Amino acid sequence: MTDFFAGTEPLRYAPDAPADQLVFRHYNPDEVVAGKTMSEHLRFAIAWWHSFAWPGGDPFGGQTFDRPWFGETMDLARLKADVAFEMFALLGQPYYCFHDADIRPEGSDFSENTRNLNEIADYLEEKMAAGGPRLLWGTANLFSHRRFMAGAATNPDPEVFAWSAATIKSCMDVTHRLGGENYVLWGGREGYETLLNTDLAQERQQAGRMLQMVVDYKHKIGFSGEILIEPKPQEPTKHQYDYDVATVYGFLKDFGLENEVKMNLEQGHAILAGHSFEHELAMAASLGILGSIDMNRNDYQSGWDTDQFPNSVPEVALAYYEILKAGGFTTGGTNFDAKLRRQSLDPVDLIASHAGAMDVCARGLKAAAAMLEDGGLEEARSARYAGWQSDQAQSWLTSESLESISATVVEQGINPQPRSGRQEILENYVNRFV
């Protein structure tokens, strides 16, 4: 045991505890909601990178955190893992997630990176076998190192493409070995800064080929989890190819992968794309590609991805409404891809931030389940589109031509009048639950 979280007790569900006690006030992992426990519904995961690898910088200033495990040695990587699993024990969440570069030191070449990754994976495997949380998903960091400054799969240098492919393979191997339930691809540098030096068609073909190879390798090694893409419209790259769900789906269709790959969706990325989180979730669900989520928000006054913990029950409730409506998670879950504010220096801040976020999600889940059970939103939607259930309206969708529909409008004297969308009434309805 380390002494990093000395004095902090494992969190318990205690809604009536004094205000100064660090407890769960809404998240009761064993409470049954809509037929499953909260733990089964929410499937919480902690992100290794923000919680244990992030130094506390922002676009205008450097490191503010002074963690005892910061450094590029295997001993420090093991210390980082020790602290991580101590935090997992305090919070009791069922999953965690990582990039390769989060858990292993950077080596001098690819072979050393792979040795380091496999060595630390052995250490994580021991901790998981001793009762630690499971791996929700693994991924490769193909954006931080300077070799990726022009992209990974989309890099103009074929050797960077090859390095990226080899790195993905090693990370998929470790994810598979640790029992990961998904493998995520986030292309932070898969885009371009200017068209003056960019061949869009070439880079798109490279990205498609990389993803095809990932899917092929998944089947070759017998990985039963999902392959997930995480869309983001901008930052760090000015124009990113995986802008949002609709854009990624078009890419998947183009390369014959729409039945092989699903989405890992993040609230903050949805906001940067000009969408709401529930829009992206509903779009993915409608296309059959909803996989998992990163539950972290942005600051609405800032123009970049601030990765803050969720704190708005109404926003979270609408997100879980779409997830529950789609049938809930299978291999996916709720990952906190969120980081402390750079002034939050104390170890207890790491615990309190996650505890508060878990409570917000629990409240949102219960509100979403109550809305679904009540049925008011679905009843209002059905009523709004009820006219489409008639045989005539269905024929307009399936078999008739412009000419025949035009003739029907004339013959029947169709003269439609506007109908209220009842938006404010439905907003009032939602507010009854949140």
Residue 319 CA from chain centroid, whole number: 12
What's the start-to-end Cα distance of the chain, in Å?
41
Residue 167 in contact with residue 100, Cβ under 8 Å?
yes
Describe the crossing of helices 110-129 and 158-177 by its angle, rounded to 10 degrees. Answer: 20
Is there a catalytic annotation at residue 102?
yes
| Residue owning tokens 């879980």 | 320
φ/ψ bin of 270: left (φ > 0), alpha (ψ from -120 to 50), beta (otherwise): alpha
Residue 241 CA from chain centroid, whole number: 17
Examine residue 236 and say whether the peptide bond preceding it is cis (omega within 30 degrees of 0): yes
Q: Which residues contact 22 (CB under 8 A, 6 or more apart)?
A: 8, 9, 11, 348, 351, 352, 355
Is there a catalytic annotation at residue 50?
no
Describe the crossing of helices 313-325 and 347-374 by its angle, rounded to 10 degrees. Answer: 60
**Active-site residue (options: 41, 50, 100, 102):** 102
Distance CA 428, CA 133 (A): 40
Rg (CA), the chain: 24
Q: Token pair for residue 189?
A: 């540098």
φ/ψ bin of 328: left (φ > 0), alpha (ψ from -120 to 50), beta (otherwise): left
Distance CA 429, CA 431 (A): 5
**Active-site residue (options: 26, 99, 269, 275):** 99
Write out the catalytic residue numbers.
99, 102
